[in-house]
Chain A
Amino acid sequence: MNILNIAIYFSVLLFLITVFSKIIKIIKAPLHLRWELYPVPHEKGKAHYGGSRLEEVDWWTKPMQHDVLGDWKIMLPEIIFLKAVWEHNKSLWWGTFPFHFALYMLFTNVVLCIIAALMNLGGNTVLNQTGGFDTLMYWLIQYIVWVGSALGVLGAVKLFSSRLFVPGLRKFSAASHYFNIILIGGIYLTAFIWSVTDISFMNNLIGIYTGLITLNSIPELPFIAYLDVWLIVLFLAYLPFTHMTHFFVKYFTYHKIRWEDSPNVSGSKMQAEISSLLNQPVSWSAPHIGADGRKTWVAIASAAPEKIKK
């Protein structure tokens, strides 16, 4: 194993551990205040006009009508095509869509390359191109790299120039945005150059995955390939500490906050959870709250303010 192997393992591990620990932290955080934002797409018969079952008289006596596909009808176009940006900031979409779609394509390629490496280890290398599944895999991987990285480069250029030259966007673009675009754009660019200049590109690419799976050193690579892989290592180690965590945070902002409309009905698990939160001792530091570490939220909030009591 060489240093690049170790760096790749380290970055993947760091990525996974950090992302999962953040997810666990979010899940363990106290229940979010109960105020969903309408329309909630899984409200059957209501979402299409923005209303809710709470419009109904005595809604708590009626069964909750759930449209199981409702959330997906919104989320799939949103995740795949970034629909909200298309609708609300179209000029940015022309950059951000190819930029993100390229990421999806290259992630798909990671999965395909792992399959190809396993086939390789099983003695059926895609490099043989016998005209069957191996040939399909070979060209699929090749084309995805070409198209994905080219799309990514175009997206990065468009995004970078939009952030730089559109006054409204430049106002709230930070240095980290430019850095992220350059970093990810650099990954796309080096991948594209590598794929079109290296005559052993597929051999090298599958070789990297085979080496990583078997804990062996990865093959000797051209300089541009090393640059690409090192940029990916940096990206994986860096991503969980940035706002790019939106790729999983978005699940929680939508499903656990914005659309979380489970009713707080009598005898429900939620009511029990809220009661336990209301009965927590308050330890907030501001003296005016009057918290002594023993009084509960209910006790403190139910008490009239000191001055009035007098």
Chain B
Amino acid sequence: MLIEILQQTINGLAIGGVYVLIALGLTTVFGILGIAHFAHGSISMFGGYLTFFLVTAQGLPVLAAIPLALLAGILLGLLVEILAYRPVRNANHINAFIVALGLTMMVEGLNLQLFGHEQVVIPTGLSKVFRLGGITVPELRLYVILAAILLVVAMMIFVERTKTGQAIRAVAENRDAAILMGVNVKTIPLIVFSMSTALGVAAGIMVGALFAIAPGIGEGLVVKGFAVLILGGLGSFPGAILGGTVLGITESIAAGFISSAYKDVIAFVVMILVLLFRPQGLLGRAP
């Protein structure tokens, strides 16, 4: 039983890592700019597709393709902010909401046109399996978990320890006060979107390597991402990390010990229960 619990926890950690990255990207945009960036899932799939293209069609090693895809993600984030969201920044919230929906359809269509409708799996060549007692950890999953931890730590250092990070947090806290303190608020959305998109691309690569990328998968991811946001607390970075991990492990344990047929249902029931007792989410601040 203990082995099964540990195995399910490790199973859940890999997918939890993906949820964390998706949720961090979403929470950054939502917490700081107040935009429900629905296209985030489709954009992360774009990153996965791009990596697949670089590896299979251009013959790049996967370790060379990943930084290129992340760089493309950063540039794409800038474009999204400048072309899609900046024009509606000062308009009613519903405008940004509609732009987000339109952008989702556009990116989905773009993925379909550029990369086709077939499911693709990013070839990594990692097929070793580590065994410890009765627990098995595939090499690829281990690297995904480690990469997710690394990215989360890097982001936390950036946000907590750098001047730009402090500026981002200041804008999130109080935009007017940040302006008065001399923060250049015009560049903050650009930084936020590039950072968020890069995290999304990283998540897309992980999904593409662990599982598969196909039309429609991004939508599911973004729904889970928003669920994590609510579970962890809107706009809270530690909340997104905790929420993503909890959701991943809960799904895995629920499927293993209750029923795989209700895997998603059980995960969302847990979310509802948490919100009943902590409406602000696990680590969100009470209003």
A, B: real partners = no
Interface residues of chain A, those whose CB is within 8 Å of chain B, are: none
